[in-house]
Amino acid sequence: MKPLNLTEKIFTNHLVGKTELPPAGEVITIKIDEAFTQDATGTMAMLQLEAMGVDKVKPLSVNFVDHSMMQSGFRNPDDHEYLRTVSQRLGITFSPPGTGICHFLNIENFVKPGMTGVGADSHTVNAGGMGALYFGAGGYDVALAMATGEYTIPMPKVVKVELTGALRPGVMAMDVILKMLSIFGVKGGKGKIFEYTGPGAATLSLTERATITNMGAEMGASTSVFPSDERTKEYLESRGRGADYQPLAADAGAEYAEQVTVDLSALEPLIAIYPSPGTVETVAARAGTKIQQVCIGSCTNSSFENIASFAEYLKGHRVAIDTLLYPGSRAVAIQLANAGYMSTLLQSGVRVMENGCGACIGQGGSPPSKGVSLRTFNRNFPKRSGTPDAEVHLVSPLVAAASALTGVITAPDREVTINQVPQVDDTASFGQPLPEAEAQKVEIIRGPNIMALPDFDPLPAKLAGEVLLKLGDNISTDDIQPAGKYLPLRSNVKEYAMQATFNLVDPTFAERAVAHRDAGGHGILVGRENYGQGSSREHAALCPRWLGIRAVIVAQFARIHVANLVNFGIVPLTFKNIEDYDKVQQGDKVTVDVSNLEGDLSMEVNGQQIPLVAAFEPKDIETLKLGGALALFKTQKAA
């Protein structure tokens, strides 16, 4: 039999409707072992799940609350109550606020080697550290996976990342993924799965591996995966989950589409410079730059080892600047306390915040105007921190510690040895699914923040309207649909669209779009490379659709976003010749004949015909024609 790489093995074990894997690019459907949401994507996903008429979810399903926890008013607590009760009703495990960050809790408690999963968050790929294939997706696709236990994805290419050597003191897993970003950039991972292997992989702990797979999202990768080996076993046993272990690795002689080698011994501390995780330099090159803030935590770097190393480095000293800590989970926070590190952190002047996403998604912790913030997080897109002219750079926990003590960017100059104490079990925090009979009786609580899903029209034969925005490269979903202070509006499409869609790019956008929509126009957006990078938030498609956007025409899309556009009936198209981008201006009147989505596509603008290419799959045509995925689901169910 042909030797298989690890990705092929896990996919083959989960294939639906086929016995062999298709070539890269063709869509495959896989059985999903786990599906999850977090609160900021979860309410919409749950409304869609309810609209599908689902009574009980199929795979292991979890709703985590970790993003929107400020509760300054009724909106977030309403969302949490809805998520708690809808979880009870539909057989979903519920992780209440304060338990921790979804991806971190997921590896602590739910993911097992060899599993497949889909989560309504782009960093779902974090689970790859456990030898599992997990994908980020929009809320609708996650709801569908909960309903059917299946997920469809274009078959990615598999890239072998051979790790050699071992990290030197002061160099951390964050530096490995920053090195990968320096090689591949923010779109070099598109359509790929990074499979890490080699002797260097064996030197990395499970949580170090998760730091690396986590930020595969920043390269636009479909996902990343490590083998399951003695280090995996060690982690699972330390969490009392030894029975969940199974060894998993690629066969000798397995084939890969590409290969790259990273020598861990040659790495030095790195930094991703604002405004992109892909602009990587050495910390040494930036040493001495004044900073105003340090933040540690996020789903990327909030393990016990990360925070304990940070605390050890600070021990006996005081931080020179505002320093905020967001532990990954309550279990980690308790473990830090048991090891004596909570008092070290507090005595050093660190502000210990809630276990959750916090400053990473602009829920508090904004830097001052023109401030520079050093964060152990995964994203530093413009304005995401909540301060429009602040800069965020991304670094490892040890660089964060060294810099917090000096107030300038500083490379760590001494080794730390951490005090190891047993891991903590916090499974008591979860709301477990109820027995079926009890679940049926649960009343779903919908406070005034929970709005009904909007209905959308089918696709007309011809789109005729205006280019409402012309954008450049790398437009992130944070640019399209900002989070931060707008997060409490996630369950209210109209308000979220009117207040936030593209408001950081052009504050007149929402009003212009609504006026255009109400005058019968079909809104068109134009952009360039890597449109929709970053977060999986389907609101970046849902809100524009509510504002009357019917087509987005760019050079290239990020994977999750293109699926979200289709799910909400926005036609994703790419320029056949990228030079044509210059022929279209904001305000131009455009017509696109969409009566035959299978055929050749083009747009007419300024008396010229510009050829376009479908960025959707043939399987998406029915969805687009009906105006969105929910409409298709309902039609198929009725048939």
**Where does this chain bind ligand SF4 (CB under 6 A)?**
67, 101, 121, 123, 298-299, 357, 360-361, 377-379
Give bridge partners of residue 592 from the DSSP assignment.
Answer: 463, 603
- Give min distance, CB of 176 to ligand MIC, in A: 20
Backbone angles phi, psi at 604, to 5 degrees: -105, 125
In three-state secondary structure terms, 542 is: helix
SS (H, E, C) 180-241: HHHHHCCCCCECEEEEEECHHHHCCCHHHHHHHHHHHHHHCECEEECCECHHHHHHHHHCCC
Instruction: Give the range of 121-129, 320-328, 337-345, 385-393 binding ligand MIC by CB under 6 A.
Output: 121-129
Based on CB atoms, which residue is closest to ligand SF4, 67 or 559?
67
Q: Hey, what are 213's tokens?
A: 């797979």
Count H helices and E strands in the chain, helices first: 22, 25
Q: Answer yes or no whether residue 121 interacts with ligand MIC by CB under 6 A.
A: yes
Return the one option of ligand MIC, ligand SF4, none that residue 41 interacts with (CB less than 5 to 8 A, by type).
ligand MIC
User: What does 537 bind: ligand MIC, ligand SF4, none (CB cut-off 5 to 8 Å by kind)?
Assistant: ligand MIC
Binding mask 373-402 for ligand MIC (x = CB under 6 A): ------x-----------------------
Pick the piece of the chain touching ligand MIC (CB under 6 A) from 246-254, 366-374, 528-536, 585-593.
528-536
Q: Per CB under 6 A, does 536 bind ligand MIC?
A: yes
Residues 347-366 close enough to bind ligand MIC by CB under 6 A = 361
Q: Which is nearer to ligand MIC, 197 or 380 (CB)?
A: 380
The verdict on 559 binding ligand MIC (CB under 6 A) reads: no
Q: Which does 603 bind (CB under 5 to 8 A by kind): ligand SF4, ligand MIC, none?
A: none
Nearest to 210 by CA among 314, 318, 106, 353: 106
Which strand (E) or helix (H) includes residue 401? helix 397-406
- Does the protein bind ligand MIC through residue 40 (CB under 6 A)? yes
Using alpha carbons, list the distances in angstroms from residue 527 to 87, 221, 554, 557. Answer: 38, 21, 4, 9
Q: Looking at beta carbons only, is 121 or 175 nearer to ligand SF4?
A: 121
Which residues are within 8 A (CB) of 290 and not within 5 positions of it... i.e. 6 or more apart?
A: 372, 407, 408
* C-alpha dihedral sign at 332, 333, 336, 338: negative
Q: CB 123 → ligand SF4: shortest distance, Å?
A: 5
Considering beta carbons, is residue 117 or 465 the nearer one to ligand SF4?
Answer: 117
Tell me: does residue 535 bind ligand MIC (CB under 6 A): yes
Cβ closest to ligand MIC, residue 122 vs residue 366: 122
Residue numbers 151-170 binding ligand MIC by CB under 6 A? none
Binds ligand MIC by CB under 6 A, chosen from 43, 122, 292, 300: 122
Closer residue to ligand SF4 in complex, CB, 67/241:
67
Number of residues counted as binding ligand MIC (CB under 6 A)? 14
Q: Which stretch binds ligand MIC (CB under 6 A): 11-19, 117-125, 307-315, 596-604?
A: 117-125
Among 84, 112, 123, 179, binds ligand MIC (CB under 6 A): 123
The only residue of 537, 550, 559, 561 in contact with ligand MIC, by rule CB under 6 A: 537
Among 6, 44, 49, 483, binds ligand MIC (CB under 6 A): 483
Q: Indicate the residue among 204 and 361 with the shorter CB distance to ligand SF4.
A: 361
Supply the minimum distance, in Å, between the C-beta of residue 484 and ligand SF4: 10
Which residue type sits at 450? I
Shortest distance, CB of residue 540 to ligand SF4, whole angstroms?
14
Rounded Cα gap, residues 163 and 126, in angstroms: 18
d(CA 384, CA 377) in angstroms, rounded, equals 12
State how beta strands 462-470 and 589-593 pair. antiparallel
CA–CA separation, 595 and 598 (whole Å): 9
Helix (H, G, I), strand (E, B) or coil at 537: coil
**Beta strand 116-119 with 34-38: parallel, antiparallel or unpaired?**
parallel
What Rg value do the Cα atoms of the chain yield, rounded? Answer: 23
Please report how close the Cβ of residue 40 comes to ligand MIC at its closest, in angstroms: 3
The sign of the dihedral angle between the CA atoms of 501, 503, 506, 510 is positive
Beta-carbon contacts of 399 under 8 Å, excluding residues fewer than 6 positions away, are: 269, 271, 283, 374, 409, 410, 411, 412
**Contact indicator for 418, 91 with CB cutoff of 8 Å:** no
Min CB(312)–ligand MIC separation in Å: 28
Pair 197, 262: CB distance under 8 Å: no
Q: Residue 298: which of ligand MIC, ligand SF4, none does it interact with, CB under 5 to 8 A by kind?
A: ligand SF4
Least separation in angstroms between residue 45's CB and ligand MIC is 10
Distance CA 396, CA 215 (A): 12
Q: What is the largest CA-CA distance in the chain?
A: 71
Return the beta strands (E) in 460-520 as ranges: 462-470
Span near ligand MIC by CB under 6 A; candidates 17-25, 176-184, 493-501, 530-538: 530-538
CA proximity to 354, closest of 90, 97, 623: 97
CB of 431 to ligand MIC, least distance (A): 21
Count Cα neighbours of 161 within 13 Å in the Cβ-side half-sphere.
Answer: 30
Nearer to ligand MIC among residue 48 and residue 197 (C-beta): 48
| Cβ atoms of residues 320 and 314 within 8 Å | no
CB of 569 to ligand SF4, least distance (A): 26
Q: Binding partner of residue 149 among ligand SF4, ligand MIC, none, CB under 5 to 8 Å per kind? A: none
Name which of ligand SF4, ligand MIC, none residue 101 binds, using a CB cut-off of 5 to 8 Å depending on partner kind: ligand SF4
In the complex, the residues that contact ligand MIC under the rule CB under 6 A are 40-41, 67, 121-123, 136, 361, 379, 483, 534-537
